[in-house]
Amino acid sequence: MREIKFRGKRLDNGEWVYGYPCYIDNEPIIITGYVKQVDGSLFHCNTFYFVILETIGQYTGQKDIEGVEIYEGDIVTNGVSIGVVIWHDVRAMFIIDCSQCDIAPMDDWCELKRIGNIYENPELLE
């Protein structure tokens, strides 16, 4: 079974947190701890962090050649081209958006290496 999880940058200190997205009073959070049902309709989570909405990205289920997890918004290279991992709604799959090669399914790129992300390293795409 594939692992479904997300990441987002914390609002208070900019560090990445990993877990499951949710909202508290319309503010995005990532739940990093467990969630349990307290009664018939109330849930309780033990650890969560407020995050910057635009930075929330899903784990693709793939790792790069060094074993690093690849998320939406990551910048990857195959040694020849550089692209950004995005979710394609029409194809219903993660793809790599690459200025040199248009778009390609992640499976088309062999030996991916994660070199950064669009939030911390946008200069890699220039």
Mean pLDDT estimate for the chain? 89
The residue among 55, 48, 54, 59 whose CA lies nearest residue 23 is 48
Domain segments of the chain: what residues? 6-53, 60-125
Instruction: Inform me whether the pLDDT recorded for 38 exceeds 80.
Output: no
Q: How far apart are CA 105 and CA 83, in angstroms?
A: 11
| pTM of the predicted model as reported, rounded to 2 decimal places | 0.87
- pLDDT for res 40: 67
Q: For the domain 60-125, what is the CATH code?
A: 2.30.30.290
Instruction: Inform me whether the pLDDT recorded for 12 exceeds 90.
Output: yes
Q: Which DSSP letter does residue 56 get?
A: -
Residue 109 confidence class, pLDDT cut points 50, 70, 90: confident
**DSSP labels for 63-99?**
E-TTS-EEETTEEEE-SS-EEEEEEETTTTEEEEEET
